[in-house]
Amino acid sequence: MDFAQPLARGALVSRYKRFFADVVLDDGTPVTAHCPNPGAMLGLNIPGLPVWVSRSDDPKRKLAHTLELVDVDGGLVGINTMHPNRLVAEALARDAIPELTGYASHRREVKYGQNSRVDFLLEQVGRPPCWLEIKNCHLRRSGTLAEFPDCVAARSLKHLRELEAMVAAGERAVVLFVVQRTDCEAFSACADLDPAFAHGLEQAAKVGVEVLIYGCEISVDAITVSRRLAWRR
């Protein structure tokens, strides 16, 4: 996924009200950027961290800038939770996720479960449909371990239950965690921040929901889904 325009570098002043971030660009210009991330952003919201923002020329937008990347310990982290679905769509198109190849169609936002829409429905004649949920992961607290979630994720737990129902109906169900970091080698559910989700992920796996974790290559020009990471249980 290439960024549409070159990103501007700056320093984070404050992230507040979840969806706002004050940034001072390297040329000294202060801007308020949209922060497309509803999570806690633990470790990524520290004043003074180097950040990169994109700019939109759409006159209908209230905020022209969007917070995209944070530099932590010399590594880039993608915080835009709107990107993983696009990243996965591109990865599916180029068969970059071996576990999800062999499907003729990749439909997005298909209704299922209790008033939900699955991120992708993969279909191929002669194979059971594959219901695919995507989760963005950007938390790292120690070592090279990525963790999800960074706050209570009741909606994500609901999605696990709905995937379980698809498995019970004889179809395939997958939850794919996209780790928008370059410094992680493994993944774990974050039991101390959301024990219900951590337990729910284990239960879902036991009944046949497949759990995939993929890391990304990240630069100020592009983000690409790259390689599978281990699930540390």
Q: Which CATH architecture has domain 8-78?
A: Beta Barrel (2.40)
Distance of CA 186 to the CA centre of its chain: 15
pLDDT, tens only, 43-86: 999 999 999 999 999 989 999 999 999 999 889 999 999 999 99
CA 68/CA 219 separation, integer angstroms: 11
Kindly indicate the confidence band of residue 115, based on its pLDDT and cuts at 50, 70 and 90: confident
What is the fold of 83-231? Answer: Trna Endonuclease; Chain: A, domain 1 (3.40.1350)
Structure confidence at residue 101 as a pLDDT band (50, 70, 90): very high
Kindly report whether the peptide bond that precedes residue 149 is cis, defined as omega within 30 degrees of 0.
yes
Q: Does position 219 have pLDDT exceeding 90, yes or no?
A: yes
Q: Give percent above pLDDT 70 in the chain.
A: 100
- The answer to whether 183 and 73 have CB atoms below 8 angstroms apart is yes
Q: Which of 70, 79, 87 is nearest to 40 (CA)?
A: 79
Q: What is the mean pLDDT of residues 21-42?
A: 97
SS3 160: helix
Strand, helix or coil for residue 202? helix
The span from the first CA to the last CA of the chain, in angstroms, equals: 30
Would you kindly state where each structural domain of the chain is located, as residue ranges? 8-78, 83-231
pLDDT at 114 over 90: no
- Which pTM value belongs to this model? 0.95
Calculate mean pLDDT across residues 221-231: 97
Read off the tokens for 41: 């952003």
